Amino acid sequence: SRAFLGAGAASVMVSLWSVPDAPTAKLMINFYEAWSQTEDKGQALRQAMLATLAEHPNPKNWAAFTLVGAM
């Protein structure tokens, strides 16, 4: 994430561990849908995690993601 921020990215979403593809895809779709409704990336990630939790209850499938940088 440091390299992206150093290159000028305002924020970066990173995963702290390897996450299976299906939950990641669901989380990212939910994130972008939520972000289109609000300008708050942190709130959008929270909403995406809650939506993904309903379908994939094990935290290893959605809890690895975090936002770094400006929200």
Once rounded to an integer, what is the mean pLDDT over residues 29-42? 94
Q: Kindly give the residue spans of alpha helices, DSSP state H, lying in the chain.
A: 2-6, 21-37, 41-55
Q: In this structure, are residues 58 and 49 in contact, taking their beta carbons and an 8 Å threshold?
A: no
**pLDDT class of 39 with cuts at 50, 70, 90:** confident
Please report, to the nearest 10 degrees, the dihedral formed by the alpha carbons of residues 53, 43, 39, 36 taken in order: 10
C-alpha to C-alpha distance for 17 and 43, rounded to whole angstroms: 21
pTM for the model stands at: 0.89
pLDDT of residue 70: 80
Report the amino acid identity of residue 17: W
Backbone phi, psi, residue 14, to 5°: -125, 160
**pLDDT class of 67 with cuts at 50, 70, 90:** very high
